[in-house]
A and B are shown apart, each in its own frame.
Chain A
């Protein structure tokens, strides 16, 4: 009894609460990146290795627009729009002609795009990290921490974007077209759905969402040409753990993995906490390869 009480007393409740908040904040950003990725996979069977670079480019467009106009919100909107258009153009030029080919060709194509975009950013903006100033700097007391309000705003905004996207998928005409095309491409086409444009649209939406997360997350880390790498790796883990092509699963997996990493970093250094996501990934692949958050297929 005494031992049990001692263990209970030894749990750092304040840290756990702080890390819960942290985990949810990064989880929401990750969900924003991963939902585009999983949707693109679900509808086109394309594993988009350039997704992290769209995230990075979004952040850079944000930097440029912020420097020119001084408005963070304008930067967010412009970055989303510009990168969505770029995504549409990339899809039309490189992926549309490859549709229906071996998945390996699209992997190589998107990997190529990722290298081009990364080196373009390096050439254009140089190796020194840029900073995006957060739109406001207020903070509140969370135990011993001055917790910035901005972090909560990120989580809230990501949730709003994902929620709006979900409503669009559920009720919008294009949403129904997207879901129909995901389920049966050929039949969707026979029903008059312009499938090639649905693919382009989905890629553009995914790119825009990645860009938005880049701008939102920019103030927390530096913006540099390689910032997409970490994120796309994590987003891939989330997509696999959530079940390839499953939007709800990806969102749940993003929050789940971010929370686990946050909790792990109470006891080990944050760099080591990254191991947790890989452990989850490998266990998922071993035990439930269809994804943790997918109902067992019948």
Chain B
């Protein structure tokens, strides 16, 4: 169990953001904080604005109001490619592998950055290939030919190429078979041990409670509940109220 980071010391702090898609008001003032190296779960039913929160942090959706900060620096409205370079990794809901690029080329989209030595590149590649041996086997295969689970691994590995300080992970276990789900759980644990902060959006409540240190629960574009993951269990009244069927 960890203490809630104050906005000043948080790695990423989201302060009262309002985001619209066209005319529909999706986020109604979301506020949340993620400390350095912390795994934070973001729960809620479909359509409450979890993915939009991630997109707003990543600069893919522009908030009309409110502020996003990364290590104290205002990043609201910065284009996504600048955020990626500042150390924010994004693993979107539908994975969005570059289908016609090989596994290796998918990784190179994040690896070929200015100022990364070839030794460092090799270290990063060795690391993801240890985490995901199957990607090493398939490195010359187009991303589109991988299975769903392998694509998810590639999406995470690709984000790791950016040496991120935080990874925004959107429903990584969606549509995966149980064996894959537990593997994703292990990867989250491994990233956590490496000191990477994670903001995890999930439908899988048990996995989220196990992997996260703190959780936020959203409803209708707002954060409704916030607590340490160890203070709550799957049958808690709050979980039932906001997530139950």
Contacts and interface: CB of A to CB of B under 8 A. Distances in A.
A176 B79 contact: no
B100 A192 contact: no
Nearest to A175: B105
Interface string B89-131: 0101000101111000100111011000000000000000000
Interface string A251-262: 000000000000
A189 B79 CA distance: 8
Contact of A190 (B80, B99, B113): B80
Contact of A180 (B80, B90, B101): B101
Given A190-B80, A192-B81, A192-B110, A183 B92 contact: no
B101 A183 contact: yes
B170 to A, nearest CB: 11
B165 interface: no
Nearest to B87: A192
B109 A177 contact: yes
B101 to A, nearest CB: 6
A187 interface: yes
Contacts of A184: 96, 98
A193 B60 CA distance: 14
Interface residues of A, number: 18
Contacts, number: 61
Interface of A is mostly: helix
B90 A190 contact: yes
Interface string A174-200: 001101100110111111111110000
A141 interface: no
Nearest to B143: A183
Given A179-B98, A179-B100, A184-B98, A193 B81 contact: yes
A183 B100 contact: yes
B200 interface: no
B25 interface: no
A202 to B, nearest CB: 16
Given A190-B90, A190-B92, A192-B84, A176 B105 contact: yes
B158 A179 contact: no
Contacts of B80: 186, 189-190
A192 B85 contact: yes
B162 interface: yes
Interface of A: 173, 176-177, 179-180, 183-184, 186-196
Given A190-B92, A192-B162, A196-B79, 17 more contacts: A177-B109, A179-B101, A179-B105, A183-B98, A183-B101, A184-B96, A186-B80, A186-B96, A187-B98, A188-B109, A189-B79, A190-B58, A190-B84, A190-B90, A191-B81, A193-B109, A195-B81
